[in-house]
Amino acid sequence: MNITTENILLIGSLLLLISILAGKTSYKFGVPTLILFLSVGMLAGSEGLGGIHFDDPRLAQFVGIVSLNFILFSGGLDTNWKSIKPVLWHGISLSTLGVLLTALSVGTFVWAITDFTIYEGLLLGSIVSSTDAAAVFSILRSKNMALKANLRPTLELESGSNDPMAYFLTIAFLGLVVNQDQSLLSIIPLFLQQILIGALLGFTFGKLSKMAINRITLDFEGLYPVLGIALMFVTFSATDFLGGNGFLAVYLSAVYLGNQDLIHKRTIMRFFDGLAWLMQIVLFLTLGLLVFPSDIVPILGLGILVSVFQIFIARPLAVFLSLSPFKMKTRRRWYISWVGLRGAVPIVFATYPLLAGIEKAHMIFNIVFFVSLTSVLVQGTTLSKVAKFLHVALPKKVKKISPVDAFLAEGTKSLIREITIPSDNFSVGKRIVDLHFPRKAIIAMISRNGKFLTPNGATQIEEDDTLIVLTEDRKSIEAVYDSLQLNMEQDFDDE
């Protein structure tokens, strides 16, 4: 069956529905949703039951780039700066040096056991050098697990920030394969250009995006997420046009925005969370359709060797070396090594050699697909068991809840406080978004002139307003009074 204009909506909606139902089932058995989505795509493909013929690497790459933008942006918005600050350098080391060491070791191994040139081997190593955050945390959530110390923030930071490094290495070594007369040292200026411009423009566009969201008055709340999409793509495309790493810029911009006060922030975050899931499903389905299972069979032996080396040697070596400057228990290093799942990102990057038309492009793509599949099957299905074996999992009774999940969850606020704004208070005439309220407090309603109104970030405070504030604890109440520059002592005299 060929995909046409007439049947694309029907086919697409059915595949989405099947994938969602399959993903729901996978939680019960601990099978990563990635496997289910890919399997649905493969079953619907030209060699599967659906018989849909799809062999367009360029379209698959476009879908991959768009999807990765949404996934990285959503991940950045969910990244809490306070949680990652203690492990910032751990994450940076893993997402840069760790990725580089993985690429070099896997690439050298492939070069040693095959007829690949050293640059072709390093290209393959670069493609499989990044981890997949979606697969990792879907498994952790399905098992209701929490991790000791700062393991989870470390894994979140690495998973969210290592794709730019892998992308750079893929492009760099692909250039060396195509132009073999170039020196290996020629990629150093490209690396500095990509990282420095990407980081600079990421924070710059983050600040500009905050100004745009908070200062542009839109008539409908639903338009603010749309504005966010436009700003996200402007960040990526402008950075890429100027020679920087667009993926890095998108992620850093989102991290900055996620830790700022924004109008309709909860609406924006929920919107991008849903879109990120949609893009993951679309991405995995597309890659599943692109794969021809019969082409995997000839490379099974080589694929197994590369997978075993990557899981048991390359990843642990990269983790232990990149974390060597930091104090961390050995069993935690081993767990980080095990949480090195390869997922959809390497498969997307494997389309670049296909489009470049290099000799071993199809072989590289099939090996990468097999390595990613094996990694998720072997590591993804055993994350919870390995965490318990290494004693890095927290008991359920002391499970830590993500600050973002706690903030967005319904019914988590336990304290209610009515605060009346005096006429001489500094907040009169200011928007709520400019008051820098604590994250664990929300203004549920405002009583004004005998009427109640539901506020949003753009609502201006007026004199004699009574704010109905919901918080979790007394500390949050104190922070609310500090934000309003009010004395709270008299309000608590009767307690």
CA nearest to 249, candidates 265, 231, 236: 236
**Residues in a beta bridge with 419:** 467
Say what the pLDDT of residue 80 is: 85
How distant, in Å, are the alpha carbons of 51, 200, 298, 323 from that of 370? 21, 36, 11, 28
Cα–Cα dist 95/165, whole Å: 7
Q: Which helix (H) or strand (E) holds 451?
A: strand 451-453
Say what the pLDDT of residue 133 is: 64
Q: Which positions ≥6 away from 405 have C-beta within 8 Å?
A: none
Running DSSP on this structure, what letter comes out for residue 327? -
Could you tell me if 367 and 124 are in contact, meaning their C-beta atoms sit under 8 angstroms apart? yes
Say what the pLDDT of residue 490 is: 52
The CATH-assigned architecture of domain 410-492 is 2-Layer Sandwich (3.30)
Residue with tokens 């990765």: 68
Cα–Cα dist 74/80, whole Å: 12
Say what the pLDDT of residue 104 is: 96
**What does CATH list as the number for 8-403?**
1.20.1530.20
Determine how β-strand 442-448 pairs with β-strand 415-420.
unpaired
Running DSSP on this structure, what letter comes out for residue 434? G
Question: Judging by beta carbons within 10 Å of its beta carbon (0-12, 13-18, 19+), is residue 463 exposed, middle or buried?
Answer: middle
Q: Quote the longest CA-to-CA distance of the chain.
A: 81
φ, ψ at 418 (rounded to 5°): -100, 125
Say what the pLDDT of residue 474 is: 77
Residue with tokens 């290494």: 390
Cα–Cα dist 255/269, whole Å: 12
Could you tell me if 343 and 132 are in contact, meaning their C-beta atoms sit under 8 angstroms apart? yes
Say what the pLDDT of residue 411 is: 42
**Identity at 188, one-letter amino acid code:** I
Say what the pLDDT of residue 478 is: 82
Could you tell me if 107 and 126 are in contact, meaning their C-beta atoms sit under 8 angstroms apart? yes
Cα–Cα dist 292/48, whole Å: 9
Say what the pLDDT of residue 409 is: 47
- Half-sphere exposure of 165 toward its Cβ, with a 13 Å CA cutoff? 24
- Would you list the domain boundaries of the chain? 8-403, 410-492
Say what the pLDDT of residue 315 is: 95
Could you tell me if 460 and 428 are in contact, meaning their C-beta atoms sit under 8 angstroms apart? no
266: how many CB neighbours lie within 10 A of its CB? 13
Q: Which helix (H) or strand (E) holds 418?
A: strand 415-420
Here the tokens at position 42 are: 């493969």
Say what the pLDDT of residue 168 is: 93
CA nearest to 364, candidates 382, 380, 385, 347: 347
CA nearest to 318, candidates 169, 104, 87: 104
**Identity at 161, one-letter amino acid code:** S
Using DSSP's 3-state secondary structure scheme, residue 460 falls into: strand
Q: Which positions ≥6 away from 422 have C-beta within 8 Å?
A: 463, 464, 486
Q: Averaged in consecutive runs of 10 residues, what is the pLDDT profile of the chain (495 residues)? A: 63 74 57 71 78 83 91 88 89 94 96 95 94 65 66 84 91 91 84 93 96 88 92 96 94 93 88 86 84 89 95 96 92 92 86 92 93 87 85 64 46 70 86 80 84 83 86 80 76 49
